[in-house]
Amino acid sequence: MAPAAPAAGGFVVVAHGRVNLIGEHTDYNDGFVMPMAIEPAVRCTVRRRGDGLVRLRSVGHEGEAVVDPSRPLGPGRRDWARYPIGVLAGYAARGFAIPGCEIEISADLPVGGGLSSSAALEVAVATAVETLCGQALDPVEKALLCQEAEHRFAGVPCGIMDQFAVTLARPGHALLLDCRSRAVTHVPLADPSVAVAVIDSGVKHDLAAGAYARRRDECRRAADRLGVASLRDLSADEWWSHGPGLPEIERKRVAHVVSENARVQAFAASIDLGDFVRAGRIMVESHWSLARDYEVSCPEMDALVAAANRVPGVLGCRMTGGGFGGCAVALVRADTATAALERIVDGYRTSTGNRARGFVTAPCGGPEVAPAAAAG
């Protein structure tokens, strides 16, 4: 179905960030993840131009990027504009006649916190293009186009989770995503007795990129040794039978991936049944598996998670994202969520001296379009 025609005075697209509730480092092993869209978002204010050029501006960055969408667009830029330009290139290659326009980008979604600011930017620009052109891709194809833009133009070999979560989210639901089949199940998460808190540790260690590549290589080598296409294909029984023969590092990596896939399924079932106490326990198990077997946590994140899990009203807290800093996510009792968040921040500052920031959020939906005047 084609999107509604934009208002004459322009329009605003809002694309929400995402937090991954559970299922870490399983995506590139063809496994399961369970993200949800969050309230902080990227906003694109869009107005048509008559000169055929697309002018991109980002609040907080000097200057603008100007591109002619009728001419071939290739990678090469190293600034923020490479993300939207990659999206424009993807639509142009698919035959969309992109008109001249101004796109001003703003956000209350922190960059570098593991909350998918890049995916939100890509999906916001994609939705702007579809609105301008009066035609739309299938949502799955749209998410894949945005992933392709990040691969080709930003040089980031991300999995499918971020773009799928931002594009396909529904209000009041998390997404259970099978990263092999790309099947999405929307799991209700609208019980008024619980909420989700996201806490930014304020720490990000530089070794994250290299360590991420090493973890992928270690998983690939383990799968080859075990004779499976990916670690997704390894059952728990097979792991117990064959895992002890692996080198220690690979054995630890496989232990996390196999157990984390099982945790995602158990977490989704617990949420579906309203057993939030069990869901919280599963989140805690996930964190310590990431810390001990996958070795992608850090002392600051362990301290943050430990501080959170001591606070009354917190059902469970874990690191989220690639690791070595970034954010933690917690399932909390809604009636004490704000007070619990304050106590988590205080406890973390006491144990590390670092200042964290956080927010409480409900599960949000996919991208939204509104006339510029109505968007506020």
- Give the number of other CB atoms < 10 A from CB of residue 281: 17
Q: What share of the chain is helix, strand, coil (3-state, %, to 5)?
A: 45, 25, 30
**Coil, strand, or helix at residue 171?**
coil
Q: Give dist(CA 272, CA 266) in Å, integer.
A: 10
Please report which helix (H) or strand (E) contains residue 153, including its range: helix 139-154
Contact predicate 319/301, CB 8 Å:
yes
**Coil, strand, or helix at residue 44?**
strand
Q: How many CA atoms lie within 13 A of 124 on its CB side?
A: 30
Q: Give dist(CA 316, CA 264) in Å, integer.
A: 14
Q: What does the DSSP 8-state code read for residue 9?
A: T
Q: Give dist(CA 196, CA 287) in Å, integer.
A: 16
Contact predicate 334/306, CB 8 Å:
no
Tokens of 318: 């874990």
Tokens of 29: 């092993």
- Which candidate in 30, 162, 200, 293 is catalytic? 162
Q: What does the DSSP 8-state code read for residue 21?
A: E
Q: Give dist(CA 41, CA 124) in Å, integer.
A: 9
Whether 224 is a known active-site residue: answer: no
Residues labelled as active-site residues: 162
